[in-house]
Structure 1
Amino acid sequence: MSGVRPAANRVLLHALFLAAGTAASIGAAWAQETSPLRGAVTEDNINNELLGRQQLAQRPSPLDPQPAEAGIPTPRYQPVSPGAVPDEQQRQPARAQRSLFREENPDDTFDEDATQEQARPPTTARQRAEAARQRAAPARNVAATAEEPAEARQPTERAEPVDETPTGTVRTGRIDDDLDLRVDPRAERAAAIETLAQQADDDPYAPLGLRLGSFIVTPTVESGITWTSNANYEPQPQSAVLSETTLRLNAVSDWSSNLATFNAFGTFRKSISGAELDEKPAGIDGTLQLDLGNEYQALATLGYVIAPESASSPVTIEGTAERPIRQTLAGSLGVEKDIGKFRFGLTGAAERDWYGDAQLSTGEVLSQQDRNSTLGTLALRGGYEISPAATPFVEAQVGRRIYEQRIDDAGYERSGNLLGLRAGVEIDLGEKLSGEVSAGWIEETFDDPRLAPISAPSVSAEFAWSPLRGTTVGLIAETTVEGATTPGESGSVLYAGRLNLERQMRSNLTGNLAFGLGYRDYTGIDGDDVIFSAETGLTYWFNRYAGLTGRLRHEQQTSSLPDRDYQVNSVFVGLRMQR
């Protein structure tokens, strides 16, 4: 009877609940029909109505199983991926909150929800493993409690394990998340081109030049007025004011290994007032240096000059209205070979001289064809490098001079052979000092036995020295055998040298100082000439392309022969332009 009474009580309690629910439903429907219209419903009222009663998180999920009274039971959702829906133990509190009137009693066998949850086995391997750990936990706790002393036993709350396995779609990061987009700490912000710090120009007034193919070409124009005390370099001076313009062109190759240079000039000099003078000297020369490989080098030169004959020429023609024109064409080709520290070189050279007709003051023309000649030489040099800065050498030279007119107007055969021997040293100290100096002996014999051989010591030097920054010192010295047309005279030997000093006093102010000295020794007669020249000049640059220039020059010749002395002073002021 005791078992039947509780069952009867439960049936009665269920019946009371059913009646109360039916009465509440009928009352709500009647209230809606009898109450007047409430008017427009605002959004705030709807939110308060929906959110005020229950929290969204506490509302039943449509995935939860429905009670049997609701109709046909819906199959429980089983996800493909484990953990897609919360575990049963996690959903238990939500299910308990749905009951408003009953108390939860897990021991009540008539509780349908409890019966279903207890009867439903775990559906996944992970859930089954978790249930096994929970069943084993009480046994382990009892064993551990039995071993611990009584005072150490304290009730502890069992920590539920947290499953961190993803239960849904994992958000994929951006593609550039895998890239290291951090800025290099050494990287600096690039400034604008016009704000970049530019290096100071060592020579801000030097010409820039023009690029023509693989050459850098530098043109220069100098034009101004010249006053001279002796326009024709005569013993009786006559002053004049001249208009003088000079064009210069310099070209240097921009090659990686070989080198080529090219120079040209042309001067137009004409009288404005005073003595009559009209001269147009011009010249051109070039060099080519080739590296042939296997320690072979080749050097070729070629030059041409056309100008009035120098006033200091050993040949004097009396009664001329102006100095005759002289043309010179010279060229050379040499090959050098290095064998260890030994240096060997073979050079062939040729020089051709033409002399124009002399215009006499009487109006007649005097031919100078008997002075035209060609000189060919062959030089063999051998040296030994005792250090990178010094290479001593010896050189032997042989040659022949051939006159265009075999027998001159006086009946002499002036063609002859040339023989020379000299020794010297090559100096190479880089940009500081470079060049060579030598001394020896030279001799020229003639085909006509009536002419005495020309035999004399010879000197030669060519140096470029830079003792200070912005200062250049140049030295050139040479020995030349000169012919003659006077009957019975063989010729002369000329020793000439020039020392030039150029100094950049300021970036836009350049000064130069030059000295020239020459000595001529005549063969067959007792006579000599001493030639001296000095020059100083300044150039002030307004900018890189134009500047003001001026020169002061003095020349004189003193001779033991009559009517050969002269003295000339000249001043030039003009404008120099370059590119």
Structure 2
Amino acid sequence: MRQHRLRSIQTPLLRRALARAWRLLLLGLTLLVVLMPSHGAGARSSADILLLRATADSDPGLTRRFMRLDAREELARAVHFVAANARRRAVADGAFERTGCLALTRVLGRDGFRIWRILTRCRIRIDRPVGEARVAPGTPPLSSKGDEPSQTVAEEDPYEPKGLKVGQFIVKPALEFTTGVDSNPLRLPRGRRSAQTLSAAHELEVRSQFEQHELNADLRLEYNQTQGAPILNGPTVDAKIAGRYDVTDDRAINGELRYALDPVDRVLGMPAGTLVSKPGLTLGASQKIAGVGLSVKALVDRSAFSGARPGDDAPIPNRDRNFTQPAVQARASYGLTPQISPFVDVTLDRRIHELAVDFGGFRRDSAGTLVSAGASFAFPGRLTGELALGYLDRRFADPMLPGLHGMVVNGALVYRPFDKTALILVGSSDTVESVTPGVSGIFRRDLILLAKQEFDPRTSASLSLSFGQDRFAGIARTDDRYAVALGVVYKLAREIQLKADIRQDWLRSTLPNVGSAATKVTLGVRFQY
């Protein structure tokens, strides 16, 4: 009887011991697969990829410790990890984007041995064919009927343009034609005369496919025509070339060349039809040191205004409004987590006008300081972007011109509560020039909330709400701008899209006979490749 009771007690203990031994054996095999060096790779260009997903009872501080140089030591302590996904990746430019997991890739180290390198953000960029991934013991086979883990690469959008392969670049051209009706094209206080609008635009997007470094370009040329208001006819240009040269894994040199040609907003005091040309150049460097990111940029921009403005006796040329703005920008950030990086940004600039004294007798040269603090977010598939809150101060050389100063909000955030829904928040603040006598400038703030919804692969819609404020320094005037816009896009094919938009604008000012309202409806077609 006693032996039977003793045997009944020992049986559960023996089963637990065998179960623990079996789990330890599986763990040992997993670590052996992960840590052992690769043999027989030969000249084949391949990379071994293993995704590990932390279970609920894993150490919450483990992800931060993975930021250390030797990730293998930390991996040995990660006893609560299971294989999440492992499969062949044969794509030209693919990426795993998923929070809550750890990505390991086998790379060639300096000592000639292939080691496992940790990627804390669980993001892998591959620019060459990828070999078969190692599968950890116990990984369930992947099915082709849609029951794959969420870490798999999304299917290709059948309506996304593929572009042209030109050497190491992907070039995507597009043409867009739009026609519509504007109820108040000149934005007059009591404007009731509508006019037809026509526009033609050409876009060119260039993306590099280098294994290292980066060189991208974006170009948009547009010509707008408004019947019955020829002073509004004219071109707009928005061009930018941006590049990055990777000196090392943690050090890079950045540059940007840009040019813009836009009509001047009428609130600046210039007549309709005035254009401003804005060439600019940026050169900088960035460095990462143990989770801390440092970057310094030198910027130079020029604004040149065309035409002339009305005067008492004769038109006054806008040459006295032309200015050059050199600036220096420095930023320090810290990787608090793989997804959140707070930063501090400081920008110093000077505006040097072509004429030291304008035609009104004022010295409009100024110096500006912008100090802001914020955070960048990288939750792939959910929340990305950055947002900063700061203080802007601009002081003028002429003591008769009051300074511009106030709180600013800059940045853009993209939040995806669902796979086919996106909410975009954009904030911007700046000071702009004015030609109004006694007005030193305008403090401009804008806030835009945009919601996008994809109903099916062909149809999508967007709704935007925007608010802007122009505060004039030197006079008691504040303009509030409101706008609501609704847009629909229908994709006939990969190369053709149909668009429809309706927009309502309101301007409310503290001065009488300044406010206005306008409604604009447009229909367009877009050809892309």
TM-score range (shorter-chain normalised) is: 0.5 to 0.7
Task: Give the AA of the match of 1:335.
Answer: A
SS in 1 for 2:247: strand
Q: Tell me the residue number matched to 2:238.
A: 283
In structure 1, which of residues 431, 434, 447 is the aligned counterpart of residue 384 of structure 2? Answer: 434
Q: CA deviation at 1:275?
A: 4.1
Does residue 228 (structure 1) correspond to residue 178 (structure 2)? The answer is no
Q: CA deviation at 1:297?
A: 2.0
5+ residue gaps in structure 1? 1-198
Q: Tell me the residue number matched to 2:256.
A: 301
Query: Against the structure 1 CA distance between its residues 500 and 331, is the aligned structure 2 distance closer, same or farther, given a 3 Å change threshold?
Result: farther
Greater helix content: 1
Q: CA deviation at 1:367?
A: 1.0
Larger Rg: 1
Q: Deviations over 1:437-482 (max 9, x none)?
A: 1112111111212222222122212223333223333322121012
Q: Is the 8 A contact 1:323 1:358 kept in 2?
A: no
Q: Tell me the residue number matched to 1:38.
A: none
Q: Deviations over 1:218-241 (max 9, x none)?
A: 122121321111122222423111
Q: CA deviation at 1:571?
A: 1.0
In structure 2, which of residues 449, 456, 460 is the aligned counterpart of residue 510 of structure 1? Answer: 460
SS in 2 for 1:525: coil
Q: Tell me the residue number matched to 1:252.
A: 207
Pairwise CA RMSD of aligned residues?
2.4
SS in 1 for 2:418: coil
Q: Tell me the residue number matched to 2:165.
A: 211
Question: Distance in 1 between the 2:491 and 2:210 partners?
Answer: 31
Question: Distance in 1 between the 2:423 and 2:397 partners?
Answer: 43
Q: Tell me the residue number matched to 1:316.
A: 269
Q: Tell me the residue number matched to 1:268.
A: 223
Query: Against the structure 1 CA distance between its residues 361 and 436, is the aligned structure 2 distance closer, same or farther, given a 3 Å change threshold?
Result: same
Question: Distance in 2 between the 1:278 and 1:522 partners?
Answer: 28
Q: Is the 8 A contact 2:322 2:353 kept in 1?
A: yes
Question: Distance in 2 between the 1:286 and 1:476 partners?
Answer: 22
Alignment of 1:2-17 (within 5 A): none
Q: Tell me the residue number matched to 1:15.
A: none
Give the total of aligned pairs: 375
Question: Distance in 1 between the 2:419 and 2:489 partners?
Answer: 18
Does residue 342 (structure 1) correspond to residue 292 (structure 2)? The answer is yes
Q: CA deviation at 1:355?
A: 0.8
Q: Tell me the residue number matched to 2:486.
A: 536
Task: Give the AA of the match of 1:471.
Answer: T
Q: Tell me the residue number matched to 2:342.
A: 392
Does residue 570 (structure 1) correspond to residue 520 (structure 2)? The answer is yes
Alignment of 1:138-177 (within 5 A): none
Question: Distance in 2 between the 1:264 and 1:361 partners?
Answer: 37
Q: Tell me the residue number matched to 1:40.
A: none
Query: Against the structure 1 CA distance between its residues 576 and 363, is the aligned structure 2 distance closer, same or farther, given a 3 Å change threshold?
Result: farther
Does residue 552 (structure 1) correspond to residue 505 (structure 2)? The answer is no
SS in 2 for 1:293: coil
Q: Tell me the residue number matched to 2:319.
A: 369
Q: Is the 8 A contact 1:534 1:555 kept in 2?
A: yes
Task: Give the AA of the match of 1:232.
Answer: L
Question: Distance in 2 between the 1:478 and 1:458 partners?
Answer: 7
SS in 2 for 1:369: helix
Q: Is the 8 A contact 1:370 1:409 kept in 2?
A: yes
Greater strand content: 2
Question: Distance in 1 between the 2:359 and 2:485 partners?
Answer: 40
Q: Is the 8 A contact 1:442 1:456 kept in 2?
A: yes
Query: Against the structure 1 CA distance between its residues 243 and 393, is the aligned structure 2 distance closer, same or farther, given a 3 Å change threshold?
Result: closer
Q: Deviations over 1:11-51 (max 9, x none)?
A: xxxxxxxxxxxxxxxxxxxxxxxxxxxxxxxxxxxxxxxxx
Query: Against the structure 1 CA distance between its residues 206 and 402, is the aligned structure 2 distance closer, same or farther, given a 3 Å change threshold?
Result: same
Counting aligned pairs with the same residue, the percent is: 23
Alignment of 1:425-464 (within 5 A): 425-464=375-414
Q: Deviations over 1:139-197 (max 9, x none)?
A: xxxxxxxxxxxxxxxxxxxxxxxxxxxxxxxxxxxxxxxxxxxxxxxxxxxxxxxxxxx
Question: Distance in 2 between the 1:518 and 1:490 partners?
Answer: 19
Q: Is the 8 A contact 1:226 1:570 kept in 2?
A: yes
Question: Distance in 1 between the 2:357 and 2:452 partners?
Answer: 47
Task: Give the AA of the match of 2:332.
Answer: G
In structure 2, which of residues 434, 437, 442 is the aligned counterpart of residue 484 of structure 1? Answer: 434
Query: Against the structure 1 CA distance between its residues 213 and 363, is the aligned structure 2 distance closer, same or farther, given a 3 Å change threshold?
Result: farther
Normalising by structure 1, we get a TM-score of 0.61
Question: Distance in 2 between the 1:474 and 1:289 partners?
Answer: 26
Q: Deviations over 1:94-142 (max 9, x none)?
A: xxxxxxxxxxxxxxxxxxxxxxxxxxxxxxxxxxxxxxxxxxxxxxxxx
Task: Give the AA of the match of 1:242.
Answer: T
Question: Distance in 1 between the 2:387 and 2:198 partners?
Answer: 39
Q: Which has the higher contact order (CA 8 A, sep 6+)?
A: 2
Task: Give the AA of the match of 1:305.
Answer: A
Question: Distance in 2 between the 1:219 and 1:253 partners?
Answer: 15
Question: Distance in 1 between the 2:364 and 2:313 partners?
Answer: 29
Q: Is the 8 A contact 1:419 1:444 kept in 2?
A: yes
Query: Against the structure 1 CA distance between its residues 346 and 545, is the aligned structure 2 distance closer, same or farther, given a 3 Å change threshold?
Result: same
Normalising by structure 2, we get a TM-score of 0.67
Task: Give the AA of the match of 2:265.
Answer: S
Task: Give the AA of the match of 1:485.
Answer: V
Question: Distance in 2 between the 1:278 and 1:404 partners?
Answer: 27
SS in 2 for 1:511: strand
